[in-house]
Amino acid sequence: MIRVHRINARRIWVAVTAAIVLVVAAVAGWAVWASLPPAASGTARLVVQPGMSSYQIAQACEQAGLVRSGAWFALWIHLHGASGRLRAGEYVIAKGTSMNQLMGLLERGQGMVVRVTIPEGFTVVQIADRLQAAGVCSRAAFLDEVQHGSFTEPFLKTLPSDKRIKYRLEGYLFPDTYDFVPNEPAHQVVDTFLANFQRHMDPLLPQLAARKLTLPQLITEASLIEREAKVDDERPIIASVIENRLHHRPPMKLQIDATLEYILGHRDVLTLQDTRVNDPYNTYLYPGLPPGPIASPGMASIEAALHPAETPYLYYVARNDGSGRHYFAVTEQEQLANEQKSKQNLEREQGGA
């Protein structure tokens, strides 16, 4: 009897040992599998909210397709002493990133999205300065891509090859709020702007054909409206003044102050000498539209250029009363009277400051 018990005990011990080995092997195999990044390409957007635990962050990583097991990644973070060191923010992370790399990115905040808003009416140079200040890409690299980069958006084929144009893509970098990552390649940044512009323009192309307008004509006129108008309901009226002057007989120069500021930079007061600067963008000196856009117009100005109001106005001047509005006139005499009112309003505004 003692011998039988010894045999059974040995068999039980062997079975238990084998079971333990199998469990350990299974766990080890699962751990190896869980440690590998999911087989996927592209990028994933990950949002880490302030106050999230490492387990919650790990679960968010699993849902984003960055790890196979959130639970295993949470344990990994804990074992490496990184709990509490992962930075909140919005990230764009390449799929296929290893767990160690992913943990390091979240600790350093690397790959965190940089949200940049480009207002309507910004010039190429202003956009470049804002992107550099935000840490997206350098000003020089961005401007080089604007001038020399090769892109595939269909609308680019309609742009003229005109040596007078200051910046090749001026006006076509659509103003909007964008999510970039730090040190994103400048080519990719410019292409994001252009693709957004293409999406906004595609529905308007049939209307352009009906108006017998080219896209560069539309965007150039819209950029003038953008820089001149301060309130939305005046945009179609300012568009009507531009149209009336362009089609006036005898011809009238546009004489738009914003074109002088594009050449000279901001001026609180423009002088007679400023209006004489010899530059193809000077609409006081040269007839018609300038060679190209002077800023990136928003949709309100683009729609105004596409659908100008019907008015007899040929002139306008800022009221300078704090409203952002303009006085409009049909005759030069009316314009002179409006300019006098504008001057008086400015003096009152400055006197009350």
Helix (H) or strand (E) holding 64: none
Across 13-74, the runs of DSSP E, i.e. the strands, are 43-48
The per-residue pLDDT for range 195-233, each reduced to its tens digit, is: 999 999 999 999 998 888 999 999 999 999 999 999 999
Lowest mean pLDDT among 67-76, 118-127, 255-264: 67-76
Judged against a pLDDT cut of 90, whether residue 73 lies above it is answered with yes
Judged against a pLDDT cut of 50, whether residue 30 lies above it is answered with no
CA torsion sign for 120, 122, 128, 129 is negative
Helix (H) or strand (E) holding 316: strand 315-318
As a whole number of angstroms, the distance between CA 111 and CA 184 comes to: 10
Name the pTM for this structure: 0.81
More confident of the two residues 83 and 299: 299
Give burial (CB, 10 Å; 0-12/13-18/19+) of 240: buried
pLDDT classification of 111: cutoffs 50, 70, 90? confident
CB-based contact 173:293 (threshold 8 Å): no
As a whole number of angstroms, the distance between CA 288 and CA 274 comes to: 19
pLDDT classification of 14: cutoffs 50, 70, 90? low
Q: What is the pLDDT of residue 94?
A: 87
The per-residue pLDDT for range 302-343, each reduced to its tens digit, is: 999 999 999 999 999 999 999 999 999 999 999 999 999 999
Phi, psi dihedral angles at 111 (to 5 degrees): 90, 5
Judged against a pLDDT cut of 70, whether residue 113 lies above it is answered with yes
Judged against a pLDDT cut of 80, whether residue 107 lies above it is answered with yes
Q: What is the pLDDT of residue 110?
A: 83
3: which 2 tokens?
């011998």
More confident of the two residues 13 and 143: 143
With CA atoms as reference, report the closest residue to 213 among 302, 284, 296, 309: 302
As a whole number of angstroms, the distance between CA 138 and CA 192 comes to: 16
Name every residue whose Cβ is closer than 8 Å to that of residue 73 and which is 6 or more positions away in sequence: 34, 58, 61, 62, 67, 99, 102, 103
The per-residue pLDDT for range 275-287, each reduced to its tens digit, is: 999 999 999 999 9
Tally of helices (H runs) and strands (E runs) in the chain: 13, 6
Lowest mean pLDDT among 20-34, 52-66, 75-89, 177-191: 20-34
The DSSP secondary-structure symbol of 88 reads P
Judged against a pLDDT cut of 60, whether residue 26 lies above it is answered with no
Judged against a pLDDT cut of 80, whether residue 292 lies above it is answered with yes
CB-based contact 325:147 (threshold 8 Å): no
Nearest 5°: the CA angle 122, 128, 133 is 110
As a whole number of angstroms, the distance between CA 128 and CA 130 comes to: 6
Phi, psi dihedral angles at 216 (to 5 degrees): -60, -40
The DSSP secondary-structure symbol of 87 reads P
Q: For domain 31-108, give its CATH number from 3.30.1490.480, 3.50.50.60, 1.20.1740.10, 3.40.50.280.
A: 3.30.1490.480
Judged against a pLDDT cut of 90, whether residue 348 lies above it is answered with no
Q: Residue ranges of the domains in the chain?
A: 31-108, 114-202, 204-352
Phi, psi dihedral angles at 112 (to 5 degrees): -70, 135
- Average pLDDT over the chain, rounded to whole? 90
Judged against a pLDDT cut of 80, whether residue 9 lies above it is answered with no
Judged against a pLDDT cut of 80, whether residue 190 lies above it is answered with yes
Rg over alpha carbons for the chain, rounded to the nearest Å, is: 32
Please give the single-letter amino acid code of residue 352: G
Phi, psi dihedral angles at 146 (to 5 degrees): -60, -40
Rounded-to-5 percentages of helix, strand, coil across the chain = 50, 10, 40
pLDDT classification of 181: cutoffs 50, 70, 90? confident
Helix (H) or strand (E) holding 334: helix 332-352
319: which 2 tokens?
């009221």
As a whole number of angstroms, the distance between CA 116 and CA 97 comes to: 26
Judged against a pLDDT cut of 80, whether residue 17 lies above it is answered with no
CB-based contact 230:320 (threshold 8 Å): no
316: which 2 tokens?
């306008």
Highest mean pLDDT among 63-72, 130-139, 179-188: 130-139
